[in-house]
Structure 1
């Protein structure tokens, strides 16, 4: 009997999450699928493969563990009442997370289920007669490799299973074996991927970008706790090869306006190679804009409930990399990636709704914006009154929303306005709360990163500083909507890491970057732990407990 795996978006909420590593899904026979065309059956099997990506890139899952564990982001116990969460964000930042951390567990669960759904799709699709099946099989295989690549990066394991109907548990690989498996799967998927389906689906360009990233981190994945990583010349050649494929394809281009890459309408932005499709019509719901803003910053005149949540700030350490790079000038006036001024607000001004557009980038000092009283914005006839903001929402009406450089875990450093904030991803103009319809496509691979990966590979293989410098300056010179950052005159690995921070901050690559550059054990604000075992996160205890009936099947990472 022909089998059809029913997996439409409407049914996704009914599928349970679990931490088990026995990857399986329920199989429904065709009698339960009456009325489905082959196209509907094919579409219904590929959709679940991508459906967990928005959940994975939630502010408290992948974003939190990739950023708050680094020098780019810190989340204190705000005002002694908010974001305490039993100390999980403090522990994450200080490199002492527990195996019971709920954000690690949620990330593990999403990845486990995404791998499971990819396996299910790979078994169902060959039985369906539709013209898209060959492409969908390649996408499912490539996405299974991508989810396993994240498992390898975060937890040091990958799961291998090809048939969900087989009762046996997935095979677990680590180290070199795991690296080779992910590589083999991406290479097998690439020939049948398309080039024309947009950044929300895995394309040839997306596979090339993931392969470049995999080869660049291969030294880390082979020997996770090495005192010094060995970057093989042949691996660096592959980074250059796949980067060249992307750059020379002519399909992608660097955005003249840096922040447009992170606008709500960025789905057609040609810098994006592979991204999480978050268009509001597809129920995009990321909270990456809302996460860092003050609770008294209301970006949208149409929605008086849409505000921030006083979440993470950048550390003074990361801020100082900008200051030191451009001193004595203010980085806001030199590098268009640091800050973009969108709204000039004289004291107690009145503006039309269309002119209420928040500044972007790294936000410092006293903040101005829409004034809300008794749940409604103060009006000036048809216009809106803007003024100096105070922490009214937090019941601190005399405390200005004045972002300071200092932020730490002390009482003074944990107040509601401590730390410079980040508004890199545009606050969705359709979001009624900041918690919904976050419709900025979240970049997974974009062209600027490809140039910087190629630059790094050239430095690591042969210390080709001239070629690396040319790639870095190509990225800097491209941001012409505002005066671009000045060209650099020299290049080395330390400068390249700094440049990756400037270009890619808040994009969930900082943790693997710091590990690869040998900086993850360094000291920064509120973090002194230098244990290399913390390069991996602990495997959630519930996952280990769930596999306890098979002794030795899933063992905890060293150091936990």
Structure 2
């Protein structure tokens, strides 16, 4: 930051979001207003107020926060106790996958902390910006209010609550159910006229709000009656989904990318498919671990950095993999659908390759893996080139165990080994990452155009069973990926096929849990998961937050069954 802060307050929401993190009793949220800045231009003051509103988006979307709870809780991702030594974490990833998580889960706690903190920061910006004499202040005010709505939308989806707060020093009002949904919706509607269209995917724009409104209306039935035996999708809600997706599609501002995996490249900030994204450019935030999280500890994607490797984290479940194979049987999905994988090299063992030509395959990775061979902390060379060979789990002190990704992955001893499960490299591994745990340059998609088409297709199905129009939208997305041979057109469409298509298009993009709940599949059975408790559709409010609000009787009630 380029400014100093003097004005300090302690709000009730800040207490709820901050005090429990380290069991502290005197944490405060520092808030900047115009009077606290000396020697700054009006523009710097305005910029200084809006910056904190976006600052922690990158932390929300890290591998152990939003990704973990949106993906590992579903049929897409599973994270076993690798080799009996890694990713145990007191069983939290096993519990998340099996829907036995509790209110003491640290990943839930940290996600709650980040979201509530950003709500508080947005309120602070909203209180300061009206006094700033800069032309950008009005737009920034709309963005701050819109981002407050977005963070509350995430809280509603994950935890079933929103916080209504206008004055930084007031106590927030807690809403649930229909009032919470209506609040978020009305906040988005209020800010849309004042937002811009030309500031890129890293800021809240009209297009971003249209996409978020479409998503909100699509999930309205869930948010109104969270534990319903079946959800009632009102025609008027589906009309709104169609209205807002139409706005995006007809704006001409966005385009489906011919190269599917370019949407997730390190230089994707200007990709026309992105509508709203976490700005990850290295000169700004540049920090996520989505690339390294699934790779083997013996996969080193960067010749320049022999410490930048994977971590043997989550794999896709056999159930999710079989959704691909059953869709394209008897063909291999890798040869039919360009979203499944991208072959950047075909390397036999004991080859040599130049730095410039070294580029990992992308998408779903299967079977024996090849790559840079590291000995005593350095890669083997062939003159100016690098030696490529069959990989073994050397970093795991298992030098005879091949890095051979298998379909089987589960919580048994055999299924939890280091190489079990097919892995995902969807976001490009940053070429600047010295450790694999830093500098994730690829902007993380929040809303993109393909999702918009699929939301419109779903709304048409749910409103009037207009399968023909829904099929046209789905096939348009499939046909757009022309950098490789596009996936063949489908000939029929229904809700089950649409959910499958959303999995193919949006896997690893942190929408799966929300999708499964809306489609009535979250209580289903998949690899290592048999829990059918409908109350797991929402996560528990962290116990530390409940405890922090204990001096306000009835203020923050725990979600049912926790």
**TM-score when scaled to structure 2?**
0.96
- The count of residues paired between Structure 1 and Structure 2 equals 551
Give structure 1 regions of 4+ aligned residues with deviation exceeding 2 angstroms. 7-11, 14-19, 21-32
Taking the aligned partners of 2:334 and 2:262, their CA distance within structure 1 comes to: 17
Contact (CA 8 Å) 2:34, 2:132: kept in 1 or not?
no
Match 2:187 to one of 185, 194, 205: 185
- Alpha-carbon distance between aligned partners in 2 of 1:209 and 1:523, rounded to the nearest angstrom: 31
Q: Secondary structure at the match of 1:112?
A: helix
Counterpart-to-counterpart distance in 2, 1:434 and 1:28:
34
Question: Which whole-Å CA distance do the structure 2 matches of 1:489 and 1:312 have between them?
Answer: 34
Does structure 1 residue 20 correspond to structure 2 residue 13? no
Q: What displacement does 1:69 show? A: 0.1
Match of 2:265 among 241, 263, 266: 263
Alignment of 1:201-212 (within 5 A): 201-212=203-214
Instruction: Kindly indicate whether the alpha-carbon contact (under 8 Å) linking 2:60 and 2:115 is maintained by their aligned counterparts in 1.
Output: yes
Matched, 1:413 2:400: no
Deviation at 1:19, TM superposition (A): 5.9
Secondary structure of residue in 2 paired with 1:172: strand
* Aligned residue in 1 for 2:23: none
C-alpha distance in 1 between matches for 2:30 and 2:72:
36
Structure-2 residue corresponding to 1:95:
99
Partner of 2:482: 480
- Please say if residues 364 and 420 of structure 1, whose CA atoms lie closer than 8 Å, have aligned partners that are also in contact: yes
Deviates more, 1:338-347 or 1:305-314: 338-347
> Could you say what secondary structure the match of 1:416 adopts?
coil
The 5 A counterparts of 1:202-351 are 202-351=204-353
Whole-angstrom distance in 1 between the partners of 2:81 and 2:18: 37
Cα distance in 2, alignment partners of residues 25 and 530 from structure 1: 40
Q: Report what 2:383 is aligned to.
A: 381
Aligned match of 2:22: none
Of 74, 83, 105, which aligns to 2:87? 83
Question: Residues 301 and 353 of structure 1 are in contact (CA less than 8 Å); yes or no, is this contact kept in structure 2?
Answer: yes
User: In 2, Cα distance between the equivalents of 1:219 and 1:534?
Assistant: 17
Q: 2:174 aligns with which of 153, 172, 175?
A: 172
Secondary structure of the residue aligned to 2:352 is strand
Contact 1:379 1:385 in 2 (8 A): yes
Q: Deviations over 1:19-72 (max 9, x none)?
A: 615998444565541101111000000000000100000100000000000000
* Offset from partner CA, 1:88-143 (integer Å, 9 cap, x none): 00000000111010000000000010000000000100000100011101100100
State the Cα deviation string for residues 291-328 of structure 1 (Å, max 9, x = none): 00000000000000000000000000000000000000
Aligned-partner Cα distance in 2 for 1:224–1:43: 39
Superposition pairs of residues 327-476 of structure 1, within 5 angstroms: 327-476=329-478
Q: The residue matched to 1:200 in structure 2 has which SS?
A: coil
RMSD over aligned CA atoms reads 1.7
Contact in 2 for aligned 1:9/1:51 (Cα 8 Å)? no
Determine if contact 1:8/1:45 at 8 Å carries over to the other structure: no
Q: Is the 8 A contact 1:76 1:312 kept in 2?
A: yes
Is contact 1:21-1:547 (8 Å) kept?
no
- Unpaired runs of 5+ residues, structure 1, are 1-6
Rounded to whole Å, the distance in 2 between the matches of 1:19 and 1:467 is 49
Unmatched 5+ stretches in structure 2: 20-27
Counterpart mapping for 1:119-198 below 5 A? 119-166=123-170, 169-198=171-200
> In structure 2, do the counterparts of structure 1 residues 296 and 42 end up closer, same or farther at CA, with 3 Å as the change threshold?
same
CA distance in 2, matches of 1:304, 1:392: 14
Distance apart, 1:15 and its partner CA: 12
Q: Is the 8 A contact 1:18 1:109 kept in 2?
A: no
* d(CA) in 2 for partners of 1:183, 1:410: 45
Aligned to 1:354, the other structure's residue is in SS state helix
Q: How far did residue 347 of structure 1 move? A: 1.7
